[in-house]
Structure formats: structure tokens, C-alpha cells
Amino acid sequence: MQKLVILGTSGNSLEILEAVLDSHGADTSSRFSVEGFLDDDPNKWGQDILGYPVIGPLSQAHRIDDVKFINGIGSTNSFKRKPEIIAGLGIPDEKFATIIHPSATVSRFAKIGVGTIVLQNAVIGTRVQIGRHVQILPLSVVSHDSQVDDFATIAGGVSVSGYVHLGRACYIGSAAAIRNNVHIGSEALVGMGSVVLNDVAAQTVVAGVPAVERK
């Protein structure tokens, strides 16, 4: 069985743990046994979370042999830093796992990159292309022919229509809806519950119905 270490101890990281535990018995299953977490908060080192130890800081990752990693870090405060967090670990992409919850539906014609997580009841449609280190949280739908670039985060209950392009390290807030053919720029943030009708420029924040830029 492949040993797995989860990066971060936030809610996302705990949901990843659940996804791995839920996989036992399913086909994709028991591929992983969770060794614990890495987290940069020294107060957490040596503690147990849900029965799994916090082994130490992220900088220890390159010294741990024979494990795969999966990143849970990526809140609204940290999502832009995901590329540098992953690069700073000093470990190659082949040491990352891809975690798909057994309740998620992934089209046989979709592509999903390494280090990506797809959580409970998410639906990934036909010919969707999802990059590396992407987080797709529960109940989100990514419809046919959409492209999700590396390090993007899609929070829970999001509806991404067809032919949408989500840029690198963008963040789509909970329950947002994105109209077909729209492009969301890299490192942009879409507020929760927003309805996005038009393209969103890189590194901007939009929110509301319809979504407009917030300074």
C-alpha cells in the first residue's frame, strides 16, 4: 500500500483524509495509507489530528522517503501562494498523489493532473482538462470541454458551465456559477454565490450577481 502524507491541517486537508479513508474497499482504494500531516505551525507538531500525527514542518517533505504527498493548503488567504508552496517543498511532481473521492463522477474522457483532489460528489464532465495540484471541493460541477489550469481551487457547490477556462491559481468561491465560454484569469478570486457572466481579469476579485470587480 502506498504511504501518503497530507500537506496542511486545515479543513481541506481533513477532507482529503476523509476521501482517502472513504476509498477503502472501492476500486481506487486502499492504494493509500495515511502517515500523517505536515504543517508549518509549530504548535501542532507532535499532536494527533483525527488520530493522525502532525509530523513536522513542510520543509521536512523532501527528507521523507517512500511516501506520496497531497496538498490541502489553499484557503482564500493562501490560494495565490500554492505554486510557491509546492515548489518550495523541493519534491518532484511524481511524488504527488491524485485523490478522487469514490462518490465523485469523472468522465472517462476527462484528464486530471497529478496532485489534484476531487472531493465528494463532484462531477467532472466530458473532455474536461484539469491541471496539476487543483482542488475541487464537494458537490462542484465542471461541465464539458472546460479547462482548469494548475493550482486552481474550486470551492464547494460551484457550477462551471461548458467551455469555461479557469486560469492558474485562481479561486472560485462556494456556490459560484460561471457562464459558458467565460475565462477567469490567473490568481483571480470569484466570491461565494457569485454569478459570473463575463471574463475576469487576472489577479482581480469579483463578487455578486452579476459579478462585478471589488477593489
Ligand X SMILES: CC(C)(COP(=O)(O)OP(=O)(O)OC[C@H]1O[C@@H](n2cnc3c(N)ncnc32)[C@H](O)[C@@H]1OP(=O)(O)O)[C@@H](O)C(=O)NCCC(=O)NCCS
Question: What span, in angstroms and rounded, lies between the C-alpha atoms of 181 and 77?
Answer: 27
Least Cβ distance, residue 208 to ligand X (angstroms): 4
The correct pick among 49, 91, 192, 202 for binding ligand X (CB under 6 A) is 192
Q: Residue 115, interface with ligand X (CB under 6 A)?
A: no
Q: Is 14 in the site for ligand X (CB under 6 A)?
A: no
Sign of CA dihedral 11, 69, 130, 171: positive
Strand order across the beta sheet in which 123-124 lies: 105-106, 123-124, 141-142, 159-160, 177-178, 195-196
- Which of 123, 124, 155, 196 contacts ligand X by CB under 6 A? 155
Nearer to ligand X, 75 or 107 (CB): 75
Which one of 14-22, 62-70, 144-152, 206-214 is the stretch in contact with ligand X (CB under 6 A)?
Answer: 206-214
How many residues belong to the site for ligand X (CB under 6 A)? 15
Residue 26: what residue type?
A
Omega of the bond leading into 138 within 30 degrees of 0 (cis): no
Q: Does 76 bind ligand X (CB under 6 A)?
A: yes
Site residues for ligand X, window 41-70 (CB under 6 A)? none
Distances in Å between the alpha carbon of 65 and those of 5, 20, 62, 95? 11, 20, 8, 10
Residues lying near ligand X in the complex (CB under 6 A) are found at 76, 137, 155-156, 173-174, 189, 191-194, 205, 207-208, 214
